[in-house]
Amino acid sequence: METDRYNDFERYLIGDMSTEERTTFEMKLSDDPELKKDFMIYRRIEAEMNASYRSSEKERGLKDSLNRLNEDFIISRRDKTSRHLFLSPVLKGVAAVFFLLTGVYLLYMTVSKDISQEVSTYYAENYVTLSQTMGLAEEGIQVGIAAYNQGDYREAVAIFTDVLDRDPENSEALKNLGLSYLAMKDYASALHAFDQYSRIPDLFVNDGLLLQAITLLLRNEPSDSEKAEGVLKEIVLGNQPGKVQAEAWLKKLK
């Protein structure tokens, strides 16, 4: 039975349910607090595992590169050194580069795994579930948050986009739109939304820059770490929301 439950969680999150199955599953979540609690825990675990998977993919790529260097410049010439002594200085240089790269690789992977795990955990703890807005908030915001918390991110995107069409200056809808895109792993759209959100003046708390850094570090493509470092420095220098967290992550990136 537990396996069936987790299979339902997985199918729901990847969009593998029919409309009828999705509706039934969402009704179960609404009616069963324990099921919903298990579902939220599952979503958090999935978010952290995704970050670990991206790190492992990058790790495999770096290992492959080092193995090719080893095969091309060390092993393939080992048998030739006795017959071509004049090549030994070159081989020593290549070996030095190889070992330097190995050291850089080990350092990089330690930092990369560490920062990826921290960012993934921070994201899971602070953004996987949105708090329902109280008071006079627009009904569309409430409906969008409910869709987001149920894992129906496409519906959440549609709802928050509709709110923004009617109220382009709605900062909460813009932030939640970015978070919905981020949950869907549409990183480019998330970055665009968070950039717009970060530029809204006079907000009591504006964590748009921190959300940009989180998105970059979760995406973890080439140059993303460098871009994230620049954003984190901007947070620290400007004394922006998330400064303490930004300082901690900058230490990991150095």
| Domain total in the chain | 2
Task: Check: CB of residue 156 under 8 Å from CB of residue 172.
Answer: no
Percent of the residues in the chain that have a pLDDT greater than 70, as a whole number: 67
Phi, psi of 150, rounded to the nearest 5 degrees: -85, -5
Structural domain includes residue 203: no
Q: What is the pLDDT of residues 7-37, one digit of tens each?
A: 887 777 666 778 788 778 878 877 888 787 7
Q: What pLDDT was estimated at residue 74?
A: 45
- DSSP 3-state assignment of 198? helix
**Average pLDDT estimate for 89-116:** 49
Task: Check: CB of residue 1 under 8 Å from CB of residue 34.
Answer: no
Q: What pLDDT was estimated at residue 14?
A: 64
Q: What pLDDT was estimated at residue 99?
A: 46
Asked whether residue 65 falls in the same domain as residue 110, the answer is yes
Q: What share of the chain is helix, strand, coil (3-state, %, to 5)?
A: 80, 0, 20
Structural domain includes residue 44: no
Structural domain includes residue 14: yes
- Asked if residue 94 has pLDDT above 80, the reply is no
Residue 40 to residue 115: CA distance in whole angstroms: 23
Asked whether residue 112 falls in the same domain as residue 72, the answer is yes
Q: What is the pLDDT of residues 34-58, one digit of tens each?
A: 787 777 777 666 655 554 554 455 5
Residue 48 to residue 83: CA distance in whole angstroms: 53
Q: Helix 208-219 to helix 224-237 angle, to the nearest 10 degrees?
A: 160
Full residue range of the structural domain in which residue 23 is found? 2-31
Closest CA to 123 of 49, 208, 214, 186: 214
Task: Check: CB of residue 253 under 8 Å from CB of residue 111.
Answer: yes
Q: What pLDDT was estimated at residue 105?
A: 43
**Average pLDDT estimate for 166-187:** 95
